[in-house]
Structure 1
Amino acid sequence: MSTAARPTFDTEALRRGIEGRSAADLLSLYADDAEVRVVDHNTQPSHPMVKRGRGEIAAMLNDVYSRDMTHKLEQCVVDGDHVAFTESCQYPDGVKVLASSMMSLRGGKIVEHTLLQAWDE
């Protein structure tokens, strides 16, 4: 009798996507019915920006990762069906962004992603 291996989340794909600024690589980590919720200075907790499905998520990722800025995966922790990570970013003019994410997985794919971000003003 064999036991089926449980799908795992690919943290190296996450790193490659973030640091390589590849929206396509990042999108491959999301389930078709995924939802992303973004909370920041402009989209506060009572009215977060919500993106549903791969189409809306792709548009958001393409916007963010096409900008002239660096991205670095700082920390990443996987615990069962949950992933948490921090990402630091910097624009050429020195403005910094720090983002913290918590994600829920199903079958190794992201189904819920909450992102909190702050930037220099």
Structure 2
Amino acid sequence: MSARANPGFDVEALRRGIEGETPAPLASLYAPDAEVRIVDRYDQPSRPKVLHGRDEIAEMLDDVYSRDMSHRLTRCVVQGDQVAFTEECVYPDGLRVLAESMLSLRDGEIAEQTTVQAWDE
């Protein structure tokens, strides 16, 4: 995978953001007015969790990155202003989380994201 799969989006910056120790590099990839929708066991498709703006997204990322777990970008496809990626996370006890995300870009920043996630129970 090249460092810049699309002139307006840096896949390696996404990798570094996801796999990093702190949420700030990942949060910086979002547009100030970005929107994130999350669907999982608790937030069903008819009522997804919706985060508005980089500040709300950064708060959520602060919570996620405060947990003792690893994050890994395993697949990423960029086509024009659309990005799809898979993230795999593992807690120290072996519990796994899998997230599939679709992004819409605007001027090289993430403008919209929809994530479907599942974890071991």
1:83 aligned partner: 83
The answer to whether residue 34 in structure 2 is matched with residue 40 in structure 1 is no
Task: Report the RMSD for the aligned CA atoms in angstroms.
Answer: 1.1
Indicate conservation of the 8 Å contact 1:21/1:71, yes or no. Answer: no
Unaligned runs of 5+ in 2: 1-5
SS at match of 1:101: strand
Query: AA paired with 1:14?
Result: L
| Paired residues, number | 116
1:70-108 C-alpha deviation (Å, 9 max, x unpaired): 110000011000000000000011100000000000000
Q: What TM-score, normalized to structure 2?
A: 0.92
2:50 aligned partner: 50
Give the drift of 1:22: 2.7
Give the drift of 1:21: 3.2
Give the drift of 1:14: 0.7
Q: What TM-score, normalized to structure 1?
A: 0.92
The answer to whether residue 60 in structure 2 is matched with residue 60 in structure 1 is yes
How much identity, in percent, do the aligned residues show? 67
Give the drift of 1:7: 5.2
Q: Find the aligned partners of 1:36 and 1:21 in 2 and give their Cα distance.
A: 21
Unaligned runs of 5+ in 1: 1-5
Q: Find the aligned partners of 1:25 and 1:77 in 2 and give their Cα distance.
A: 20
